[in-house]
Amino acid sequence: MSEQTLTADQLQMLVAEHEPLVGLDLEGGNYCAIDLRNARFERVNARGAIFSQAQLEGCSWISSELSAAQFDDCTFTDVMLTDCTLNGASLLGARLDHGLWLRCSGNDLDLRKTRIKGLSVIESVFARARFIEASMESSQWDTCTLTDLQTAQTRWSQARFINCLLERARFVAIVLHQCAFDRSTLTDADFTGCDAQSASFYQSQGQRVVFKGARLDNAIFSNAQMSGANFTGASLNMACLNNADLSDAMLSRASLEYALCEELHAPKASFIDANLNGADFHGADLAHCDWRGANLDAIRPEDSERLAAQRWLPAL
């Protein structure tokens, strides 16, 4: 804390004037439980400042340095962060209720035990963000980079990650109810044992994505590019894999009852001991697949006339 750092009383007086707070030095200050509702901060240095249990409803932070700042147990209702840096910032136990984060960045952001609802995060970059025991509902992350994201012991519902980079993200054994990862990159992401029924992976892509033992019933993988993905023991009942690329994928002991796999590209995939009851592989490329122990006779019969019509080309 420098000599220029404002005290809590000084900051509270400035907030009471209802004017934009520009260029303030709050580095290392202690502002626990302070009332900052509807305050507007611009180009503020709040590195290492403590705002635990502060009232932050409706406030805005623009082009501010928030690295190592502590916002533990705060309520972020309708808070806007724009072009802010949050390296090592802590929001342990905070409540993020709606609001917008735009073009923010930070490594090792601590979001453990947060409750996130209705939040929008756009064009932001966070490496090694920790969402341990963090709940999330009806939130959207658009064009974000979230490499090495960590989750555990949590449930997310209707969280949408659209066009995001999620390399090495861990979603092991968590609930992802009606979540979406459309057009996102999931290289080395791990969904082992997760419950992601009705999740959407439309046009997602990635190498070595792991879904071992995951519940993916009614999930959407149409047009996904996931060669080499591991679905060993996963439940894909009534899932949609139309036009997906699962070449060299592992689907051993997976259940694909009534799954839609039309035009699926899965050469050299392994279906050892897979349950294929009622699965529709119309027009699929299944060259050199391993079907040992799979109930091939239970696959839905291919409509040869329809396939011929789809592949018909006019004579020149």
pLDDT at 316: 62
- What sign results for the dihedral spanned by CA atoms 54, 79, 128, 85? negative
Neighbour-count burial of 18, counting CB atoms closer than 10 A to its CB (0-12 exposed, 13-18 middle, 19+ buried): exposed
The secondary structure of 131-184 as a DSSP string is EET-EEES-EEES-B-TT-EEES-EEES-EEES-B-TT-B-TT-EEET-B-TT-
pLDDT at 190: 98
Question: CA-to-CA distance for 205 and 201, rounded, in angstroms?
Answer: 8
For 264-294, what is each residue's pLDDT tens digit? Answer: 999 999 999 999 999 999 999 999 999 999 9
308 Cβ neighbours under 8 A, 6+ residues apart = none
pLDDT at 102 over 80: yes
pLDDT at 2: 54
For 43-55, what is each residue's pLDDT tens digit? Answer: 999 999 999 999 9
- Are 206 and 227 in contact by the 8 Å Cβ rule? The answer is no
Q: What CATH number does domain 20-123+132-146 carry, 1.20.1600.10, 2.160.20.80, 2.10.109.10, 3.40.50.1220?
A: 2.160.20.80
Alpha-carbon dihedral angle through residues 138, 140, 145, 146, given to the nearest 10 degrees: 0
Domains of the chain by residue range: 20-123+132-146, 166-302
Predicted confidence band at 311 (pLDDT cuts at 50, 70, 90)? low
- Are 159 and 139 in contact by the 8 Å Cβ rule? The answer is yes
pLDDT at 301: 84
Judge whether 20-123+132-146 and 166-302 match in fold: yes
When the pLDDT of each residue in the chain is averaged and rounded to a whole number, the result is: 95
CATH class of the region 166-302: mainly beta
For 5-49, what is each residue's pLDDT tens digit? Answer: 999 999 999 999 999 999 999 999 999 999 999 999 999 999 999
